[in-house]
């Protein structure tokens, strides 16, 4: 009897020891978890503190842009922002020469200059300007050494041999026409930027320095006002509307008639060279571009509007009070085929939609016939009963 009681007691003690060991292990595991949670909590607190320390409002955040180079960081501060008809990348012209009559607005930030309008004094004397800006809507985290420009129709070439926006440093450069300067804003034509694009810098276009056909002229005087524009551009008042690329070089003048001026950077002490006669082309400055630029494998498309789209455009133009002409812009955009190579190959016969000037455009491409037909043009601001934009609503979208 006593032996049986002793065995049961030892069994209970052994069981209790096992349970105690399990409890100790559980306590140890809980302590490890608490310690890990403490580290995670500390990291979260530090992250939140860093976010609060570096937080900026939307307007301040849009005026700060930093690019990280592999070795040395480069900090760039935008000087302003561009307003255009194009709220997203899809459908935005690829070059400023596509929609030459489409107007954009560049507004300087008052956080850069106390009186930003002072920085624009003198710019109204130029007909064109360069705009350097940030491709702020590039969402690709991987930059490729070779890209497929749409004009090459799928063929690949080096990124630095193209004007692709997907670059190691996402900086854009466009030559635009200055319409007018008002206060701290510049109104220009030749839009190929998305609405809200941050501007890094602007520079006046000077054919003597920027156009290779002008860089070797002997007449290097600096003139003022209208005389300067006509002589630099090689135009008279009757043909002053010509593009800078069509500017004519000025005839040479005797060296004694060349005025004194400050030489451009890198040309100090150099004597200006004369423009040679037309017969000596091998000695002249030559401008060369690849054949796929002048003769691309893809041709321009014929743009057609359905009766429904024409009626909608007539109503839009009739209701518009600012003289906008979206039909011409839609036509110039589509005839250059805004689709990427991927969309063209994979979804060539599908409907294509894009936004322009608060309008939603629906069209369809016929690649075999080189035709694109616009079927519908609707207001992108109009809301349906469910509160969504009408063009996005599956219930009212086709009404």
CA distances from 14 to 2, 10, 11, 18, 27 (A): 18, 6, 5, 6, 20
Which 3 state secondary structure label does DSSP give 376? strand
Which of the two residues, 29 and 348, has the higher pLDDT score?
29
Q: In which band, very low, low, confident or very high, does the pLDDT at 322 lie, cut at 50, 70 and 90?
A: low
Q: Which two tokens stand for residue 151?
A: 């004009």
> Are 307 and 373 members of one domain?
yes
Run of H or E residues at 75: strand 74-76
Which tops the pLDDT comparison, 228 or 335? 335
What tokens appear for 205 in the block?
Answer: 């276009």
pLDDT confidence band for 227 (50 / 70 / 90) = very low
Q: CA 186: distance to chain centroid?
A: 18
Residue 141 domain flag: yes
Mean pLDDT of 128-150: 86
Contact (CB, 8 A) for 125 and 227: no
pLDDT of the residue at 239:
39
Nearest to 214 by CA among 132, 284, 137: 284
pLDDT value, residue 334 = 92
Least confident of 104-113, 193-202, 227-236, 385-394: 227-236
Residues 6+ apart with CB under 8 A from 283: 276
Per-residue DSSP letter, 248 = P
Contacts 24+ apart (CB under 8 A), 163-166: 163/94, 163/95, 165/135, 165/138, 166/135, 166/138, 166/140
pLDDT in tens, 382-395: 777 777 777 777 66
Spatial neighbors of 66 by CB under 8 A, at least 6 apart, are 73, 74, 75, 76
How many CB atoms are closer than 10 A to CB 182? 13
Q: Is the pLDDT of residue 188 over 80?
A: yes
Q: State how far the Cα of 352 lies from the Cα of 350, in Å rounded to an integer.
A: 6
| Domain presence at residue 61 | no
Quick one: CA dihedral 341, 345, 348, 350, positive or negative?
negative
- Express each pLDDT in 231-278 by its tens digit: 444 443 333 344 444 433 333 344 334 333 444 443 444 444 444 444
The answer on 382 and 338 residing in a single domain is yes
For tokens 């004597």, the residue is: 271
Q: Which residue has the higher pLDDT, 224 or 6?
A: 6
Identify the CA nearest to 336 among candidates 61, 104, 142, 149: 149
179: number of Cβ within 10 Å: 14
Tell me: pLDDT of 303 over 90: yes
Q: What's the confidence (pLDDT) of residue 372? A: 93
Q: Mean pLDDT, to the nearest integer, of 60-71?
A: 50
Least confident of 80-89, 225-234, 344-353: 225-234
Same domain, 42 and 80: no
Please tell me the distance from the alpha carbon of residue 80 to that of residue 78, in angstroms, as a whole number.
Answer: 6
| Residue 136 and residue 220 in one domain | yes
Beta bridge partners of 302: 371
* In the predicted structure, residue 202 carries a pLDDT above the cut 90: yes
Domain of 235, CATH number, reads 2.40.30.70
| Interior angle at CA 236, CA 235 and CA 241, nearest 5 | 65
Domain count, the chain: 3
CATH number at residue 339: 3.30.2310.20
Compute the chain's Rg from CA coordinates.
Answer: 32
Q: Highest mean pLDDT: which of 95-99, 114-118, 338-342?
A: 114-118
**pLDDT, averaged across the chain:** 76
302 three-state secondary structure: strand
Does the pLDDT at position 69 exceed 50? no
Q: What pLDDT sits at residue 56?
A: 66
In a domain, 399, yes or no: no
How far apart (Å, rounded) are the C-alpha atoms in residues 52 and 67?
A: 21
366 within some domain: yes
pLDDT at 195 exceeding the cut of 90? yes
> What pTM was computed for the model?
0.58
In a domain, 166, yes or no: yes
- Note the pLDDT of residue 299: 83
- pLDDT at position 160 is 92
199 burial (CB, 10 Å; 0-12 / 13-18 / 19+) is buried
Residue 85 within any structural domain of the chain? yes
Of 277-286, 294-303, 320-329, the poorest mean pLDDT is in 277-286
Per-residue confidence (pLDDT) for residue 189, from 0 to 100 = 92
228 Rama class: left (phi>0) / alpha (psi -120 to 50) / beta: alpha
Relative to beta strand 302-305, strand 371-379 is: parallel
Higher pLDDT, 289 or 58: 289
More confident residue, 277 or 4: 4
CB 397 within 8 A of CB 390: yes
Model confidence band, residue 230 (pLDDT cutoffs 50, 70, 90):
very low
> Among 178-187, 206-215, 342-351, which range has the highest average pLDDT?
178-187
184 plus 312 within the same structural domain: no
In a domain? residue 364? yes
User: Averaging pLDDT over each range in 9-18, 103-112, 242-251, which range is the top one?
Assistant: 103-112
| Domain that includes residue 50, residue range | 1-55
The yes-or-no verdict on residue 173 having pLDDT over 60 is: yes
Helix 326-335, helix 307-319: angle, nearest 10: 140
């Amino acid at each position: 009897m006593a032996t049986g009681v002793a065995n049961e007691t030892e069994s209970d003690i052994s069981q209790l020891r096992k349970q105690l060991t399990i409890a100790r292990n559980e306590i140890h595991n809980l302590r490890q978890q608490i310690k890990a949670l403490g580290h995670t909590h500390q990291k979260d607190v530090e992250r939140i503190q860093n976010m609060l320390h570096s937080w900026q409002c939307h307007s301040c955040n849009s005026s700060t842009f930093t690019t990280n180079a592999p070795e040395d960081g480069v900090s760039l501060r935008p000087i302003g922002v561009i307003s255009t008809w194009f709220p997203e990348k899809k459908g935005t012209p690829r070059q400023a020469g596509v929609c030459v009559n489409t107007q954009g607005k560049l507004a300087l930030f008052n956080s850069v200059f106390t009186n930003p309008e002072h920085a624009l004094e003198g710019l109204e004397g130029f007909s064109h300007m360069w705009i350097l800006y940030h491709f702020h809507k590039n969402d690709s985290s991987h930059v490729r050494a070779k890209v497929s420009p749409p004009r090459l129709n799928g063929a690949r070439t080096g990124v630095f041999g193209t004007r692709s926006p997907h670059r190691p440093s996402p900086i854009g450069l466009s030559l635009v026409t200055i319409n007018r300067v008002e206060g701290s804003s510049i109104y220009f034509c030749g839009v190929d930027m998305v609405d809200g694009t941050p501007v890094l810098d602007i520079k006046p276009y000077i054919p003597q320095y920027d156009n290779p056909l002008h860089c070797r002229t002997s007449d290097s005087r600096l003139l003022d006002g209208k005389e300067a524009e006509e002589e630099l551009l090689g135009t008279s008042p009757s043909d002053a509307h010509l593009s800078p690329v069509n500017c004519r070089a000025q005839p040479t003048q005797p060296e004694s008639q060349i005025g004194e001026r400050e030489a451009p950077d890198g040309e100090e002490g150099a004597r200006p060279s004369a423009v040679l006669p037309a017969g000596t082309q091998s000695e002249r400055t030559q401008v060369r571009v690849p054949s796929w630029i002048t003769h691309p494998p893809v041709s321009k498309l014929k743009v057609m509007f359905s009766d429904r789209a024409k009626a909608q455009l007539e109503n839009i133009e009739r209701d518009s009070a600012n003289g906008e002409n979206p039909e011409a812009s839609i036509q110039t955009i589509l005839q250059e085929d805004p689709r990427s190579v991927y969309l063209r190959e994979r979804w060539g016969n599908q409907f294509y939609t894009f936004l322009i000037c608060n309008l939603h455009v629906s069209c369809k491409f016929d690649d075999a016939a080189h035709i694109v037909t616009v079927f519908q043009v609707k207001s992108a601001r109009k809301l349906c009963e469910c509160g969504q934009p009408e063009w996005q609503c599956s219930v009212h979208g086709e009404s």
